[in-house]
Homo-oligomer: A and B are copies of this chain.
């Protein structure tokens, strides 16, 4: 059993969800509620986001439960027996409409709309946000890094510094669907059927008394490997690779070398020349060490002869934008549109749909009420009903990855560029939705709330 398949995550919730739930039960508030998940403002460094994490989340929600240990803990916390009985039999029975994973989206657009009895939809808030936030954050970063490499391989080496086990596993999935080539994380590879990749570490070289012996022994075990050459001196390391090629002759099957320190661009030129001089033109050069989309773009702009990139920390923690201003807000209860007026935090009431128009590339989106029919493609699809995922909307990771690439290819150039510009994608609100929002706002201001 991996993290992902665990379903006893009912207790991964904030205390206030449970106190509110307890109050809802006492008040008999079981009518259907609609909650919308969206990102209020994009980080400065992002001009689009890439939806990710839906299917693993829905799998968890399908079987969401509380263990006896959880329930005993809640009893100790003085929760009512009524609440504990409710949680003992908890089963999510609601409907979910969502952007398919791999869909590009923008500010204020619904990513997910959950319609379920109020206590259920309230309880899962923390889990829904935590999971979709993480994966959308990393897919959005990964899409930038993959694009910067212009078709070259990008390997996700982040497992050691991403924030915890779950981020390591689900984050690698998000990065892969965004266009990253493979992950070094074996548990992620196993859990989500992702391609895995890796070379060797300095410690292997260090543990041998002689770098040349280390290369030779490792090549003996894994003939088609990539050798790490910077443990002592990069150029001397490459010379040892050449010596090994000469010694092994036709038995030399090594595929490449990896640079992991120093001026990667400068070293790549020198190493390429050295390898080519010795008829090792087929050896690839992989670069790693503190890389991100900007450094990769610069290396490629400088024509550095690098065939692939290993990218770790910066991508795995989304270092230039380590969180999204994501919110999960009540927009309807018992058939009535709901919002709040808290300053600077507007909410669009009721169930919604997003219509996207394109002329070759995407041109603009309109957020509308769900029953409206507007020009363009409706983006939100029903993916769960009565608490069960709809098989018609389940896709494997390769299908999601292809869909994401199609989406990214349709971004206007000004949106897909990794450099910072003032451009922002036009997202409009339909007149019908704007009027509905105004109507409820006035009602609240008149004291109806």
Contacts and interface: CB of A to CB of B under 8 A. Distances in A.
A423 interface: no
A148 to B, nearest CB: 19
Count copies of this chain in the complex. Answer: 2
Contact of A166 (B167, B202, B326): B167
A190 B24 CA distance: 23
Interface residues of A, number: 114
Interface string A165-189: 1111111000000000000111101
Given A190-B70, A322-B318, A221 B19 contact: yes
A206 B33 CA distance: 11
A20 B222 CA distance: 10
Interface in A195-211: 196-207, 209-211
Contacts of A14: 157, 159-160, 184-186, 198
Interface stretch (A91-99, A228-236, A394-402, A425-433): A228-236
Given A26-B221, A166-B166, A197 B15 contact: yes
A380 B286 CA distance: 37
Contacts of A200: 16, 19-20
A262 B340 CA distance: 13
Interface stretch (A128-136, A294-302, A356-364, A405-413): A128-136
Interface in A1-52: 1, 3, 6, 8-9, 11-20, 22-24, 26-27, 29, 33, 35
A162 B131 CA distance: 9
User: Nearest 3 A-B pairs (CB), nearest first?
Assistant: A164-B166, A15-B198, A163-B163
24 contacts: A3-B6, A11-B187, A12-B185, A14-B185, A15-B186, A16-B184, A20-B204, A23-B204, A23-B218, A26-B220, A130-B164, A131-B164, A160-B326, A161-B324, A164-B167, A164-B171, A205-B340, A206-B340, A207-B330, A207-B333, A230-B343, A231-B342, A261-B343, A261-B345
